[in-house]
Amino acid sequence: MKNIAVLVSGGGTNLQALIDAEKRGEIKNGKINCVISSNPDAYALKRAQNNSIHTEVIRRKDYARFDDYDKALTELLQSRNADLVVLAGFMTILGSRVISTFKNKIINIHPSLIPSFCGEGFYGLRVHEAALAKGVKVTGATAHFVNEVCDGGPIIIQKAVEIKNGDTPQVLQKRVMEQAEWNILPKAVSLFCDDKIIIKNNITEIID
């Protein structure tokens, strides 16, 4: 059984999707054993507590140097024996220590079809604002591994979502969450916990 640490910053609907999937028995070989928030007021913390999941808060601003923050987060994850780290709406950039310590063991959910609308500055509602400003007709979500390139790690699963006339960033965000994110993130986590993802040359292959 793999220990899953989920990193959050806000509402935590993706965390909730993971909790619900685990409860339905859809993550057979993994268990969420802690939720770590960058924000002490994140509603995601309440969701964890409602489900008796251990919580921690780690704030970038409590560390003078980024390296110290990076080290503290790495040590916190190690102290929880994390086998998999899931970024579920985590809005703080990860440092090189945590990324190298958990190489190919960090999964992020991003609210677009990478490589569109991703990279530095593309997070949360901004991603959907950019998609609408460009006028694309299809967007979606991507579950991918995290490496040192922002949103550049190996892609695990993607799901497309239609853009409709009159969409606002908020309406589109909700549709992308409902139709894509809450579905593909638990699937990617389950595949990882079942050891069904192979990575070669930055490309994944899912074993049937």
Q: Is 109 near ligand GAR (CB under 6 A)?
A: yes
Q: Select from 46-54, 75-83, 119-127, 152-160 the region that touches ligand GAR (CB under 6 A).
A: 119-127
**Among 14, 74, 139, 204, interactor with ligand GAR by CB under 6 A:** 14
Two structure tokens written together for 98: 């945590």
**Cβ(151)–Cβ(114) below 8 Å:** yes
Secondary structure class of 111 (helix, strand, coil): coil
- 11 binds ligand GAR per the rule CB under 6 A: yes
| Phi and psi, residue 196, nearest 5° | -105, 10
- Contact with ligand GAR (CB under 6 A): which of 88, 146, 155, 157? 88
Cα gap 59→136, rounded to integer Å: 36
Report the catalytic residues. 110
- Answer for which of 4, 12, 154, 163 binds ligand GAR (CB under 6 A) is 12
Stretch 169-188 residues interacting with ligand GAR (CB under 6 A): 177, 181
- Closest among 183, 192, 208, 206 to 21, alpha carbons compared: 183
**Rounded-to-integer distance, Cα 140 and Cα 134, Å:** 14
Write out the residues near ligand GAR by the rule CB under 6 A.
Answer: 8, 10-14, 44, 88-89, 109-111, 123-124, 127, 177, 181
